Structures are given as structure tokens and as C-alpha cells.
């Protein structure tokens, strides 16, 4: 039995199958963690979701920003954007089952046996592991409860940018969602930034990657995340990022995470044609 993690698939179903074949992934024996953004940008969001649903006994996912956006569209709160390519999900006969499955997926996964924690974008530097898991749970409770649609109505926006334990209401929910699914950099004064997408080293001088933030609270587990295609596959003690820009014509990557050293495998991807041109990411 092996445990693998795969980065942002973004509707690239053929590349997913190619990578699983290369890994010799066996859903009856092995386990697979997907770091979110299974959907959108690529051509086959519906097939990716259905594959994860059909194999949910062996596949765990965390929700990414694109799943939350898709859910907001499925709930009728948001219109699809011109760049969205998940119309196959929106018009699928099983969209209700897909919505019900997605709203019951976690925002964070902590595996104590293998000692890793997974979120789509990372862990805010001001949070301990326990705080991160509790805050993720707060969002999961709203997603699974009667306030879900209201949450989507209040989810979009960049503020507040600074974490306070005292944040309450939708401001609090929005911050947690933004930190778990959209964060890349923070300013030197501790505000999350959502504009800069380039890799560390190319950013504006007042920005610091979340994982390099001074005095970041120690996390006693390896943090697995995606979302940052320009960062690519990136390994440091306690960190593993896996978004290697599949839909941007780069690679779809997997790590075997139950053995050391972590073994990385990947397959090449074609750049997908979007309905309107958009810059990476």
C-alpha cells in the first residue's frame, strides 16, 4: 500500500489518468490525496470530480478556491466567469450529487500516522496546527449547514487581510477561506496579499511567502499544498508544494508521501485553450 498526493489537476483528466498509470496507483490498495482545484481551466472538470467520487474510499481531497467558486455557481449565487470551463459540471445530470459530495469535503486534512497536514494554499503563519484545523472545521460546519448560500454571498473579497482571533461573522469566515485557499504572500506588516502570483524571489520587496514569514508558528507536520503554480514542486523540511502548472502547459505532479525521501513523479501537460485568454495563474 502506497500513499500519494497530487497537485492541482484543474480539469486535466487525461493527464491525471496518465500520472496514475505511471504511479501504478491501485484504488483497492493505495491511497491518494488531492490538494484541491480539481476543477476549472482544463477541459474535463466533470470527469475528474466523478473519478474522485467513484473512488472516494481511497481518495481524499481538500477544497480549493475553484471548488468553492464552482459551489457558489451551483448554488446560484455566482455567475460563471468568462474564463471558467466547468460548464460540464454545471449542466451535468448529477450536479446535485456532486454539490452534496463537495460540500462534505474538508478544508484541511491532518494525518497523524504519516505526519502531514494538507490544505489548498497553506497555513497562515499566525496559526498553530490545532488552530488551523479548528478554523478549517468552522468553515466546514458552515458549508454543511443552512448558512451555506449566505456564506457564498459573503465569501468573495480580500478583506480583512490581517488575522485577529476576534474576527467574527462573515469577515472571519472569509479570512479563513482566503488563508486556506488563496494565500501566497504576506506583506512585511502581516497582511495577506492576493495580487502577486510570481515565485519567491520575483515578488515586490515588501512581500514574503507565507511559509517564510518571520516567527511563523511552528507546525509539527509536513504541510502539503498546491495553488501556487509558479512555485511548482517545492520541497523543504516540513513543506511540500505540488502545483506544477498542469493547465498552463507544464506538468502534473505526484509525491509518494508514506516513504522517505519523498518520491516525485510527473507527466507533461499541454497548455489548455481557455475561452478567453488569461495570464497564469
Residues binding Mn ion (CB under 5 A): 37, 64-65, 227
C-alpha cell at 259: 516513504
Q: 37 or 111: whose CB is closer to Mn ion?
A: 37
Smaller CB distance to Mn ion: residue 77 or 246?
246
Task: Pick between residue 37 and residue 60 the one whose CB is nearest to Mn ion.
Answer: 37
Complex with Mn ion: residue 30 or 269, whichever CB lies closer: 269
Contacts by 111-116, CB closer than 8 A, 24 or more apart: 114/3, 114/257, 114/258, 115/220, 115/221, 115/222, 116/5, 116/221, 116/222, 116/223, 116/224, 116/240, 116/257
Tally Cβ neighbours within 10 Å of residue 145: 11
Q: How far is the CB of 131 from Mn ion (least distance, A)?
A: 22
Cα torsion at 105, 108, 110, 115 (round to 10°)?
130
CB-nearer residue toward Mn ion: 30 or 177: 177
Q: In whole angstroms, how close is the CB of 226 to Mn ion at the nearest point?
A: 6
In whole angstroms, the minimum distance from the beta carbon of 125 to Mn ion comes to 19
Q: Between 42 and 64, name the residue whose CB sits nearer to Mn ion.
A: 64
For the chain, list the strands marked E by DSSP: 3-6, 31-34, 59-61, 109-111, 116-118, 185-187, 192-193, 207-209, 222-225, 234-236, 239-241, 251-256, 263-268
> Which phi and psi angles does 248 have, rounded to 5°?
-95, 15
CB of 281 to Mn ion, least distance (A): 7
Write down the least CB distance from residue 128 to Mn ion, Å.
24
In the complex, least distance from residue 72 CB atom to Mn ion, rounded to whole angstroms: 15
Residue nearest to Mn ion (CB): 227
* C-beta separation of 231 from 198 below 8 A: no
Amino acid at each position: 500500500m502506497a500513499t500519494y498526493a497530487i497537485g492541482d489537476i484543474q480539469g486535466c483528466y487525461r493527464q491525471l489518468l496518465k500520472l496514475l498509470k505511471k504511479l501504478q496507483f491501485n484504488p483497492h490498495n493505495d491511497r491518494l490525496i488531492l490538494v484541491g482545484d480539481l476543477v476549472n481551466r482544463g477541459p474535463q472538470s466533470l470527469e475528474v470530480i466523478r473519478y474522485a467520487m467513484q473512488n472516494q474510499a481511497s481518495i481524499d481531497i481538500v477544497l480549493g478556491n475553484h471548488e468553492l467558486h464552482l459551489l457558489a455557481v451551483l448554488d446560484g449565487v455566482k455567475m460563471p466567469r468568462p474564463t471558467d470551463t466547468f460548464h460540464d459540471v454545471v449542466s451535468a445530470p448529477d450536479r446535485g450529487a456532486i454539490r452534496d459530495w463537495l460540500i462534505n469535503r474538508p478544508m484541511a486534512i491532518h494525518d497523524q500516522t504519516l505526519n502531514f497536514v494538507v490544505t489548498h494554499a497553506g497555513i497562515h503563519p499566525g496559526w498553530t496546527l490545532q488552530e488551523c484545523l479548528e478554523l478549517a472545521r468552522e468553515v466546514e460546519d458552515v458549508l454543511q449547514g443552512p448558512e451555506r448560500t449566505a456564506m457564498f454571498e459573503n465569501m468573495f473579497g480580500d478583506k480583512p487581510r490581517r488575522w485577529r482571533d476576534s474576527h467574527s461573522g462573515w469577515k472571519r469566515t472569509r479570512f479563513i477561506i482566503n488563508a486556506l485557499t488563496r494565500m501566497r504572500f504576506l506583506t512585511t506588516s502581516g497582511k495577506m496579499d492576493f495580487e502577486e502570483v510570481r515565485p519567491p524571489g520575483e515578488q515586490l520587496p515588501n512581500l514574503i511567502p507565507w511559509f517564510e514569514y518571520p516567527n511563523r508558528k511552528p507546525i509539527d507536520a509536513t504541510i502539503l499544498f498546491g495553488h501556487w503554480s509558479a512555485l511548482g514542486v517545492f520541497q523543504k523540511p516540513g513543506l511540500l508544494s505540488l502545483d506544477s502548472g498542469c493547465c498552463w502547459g507544464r506538468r502534473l505532479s505526484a509525491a509518494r508521501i508514506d516513504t522517505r525521501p519523498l518520491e516525485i513523479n510527473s507527466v507533461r501537460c499541454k497548455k489548455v485553450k481557455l475561452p478567453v485568454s488569461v495570464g497564469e495563474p
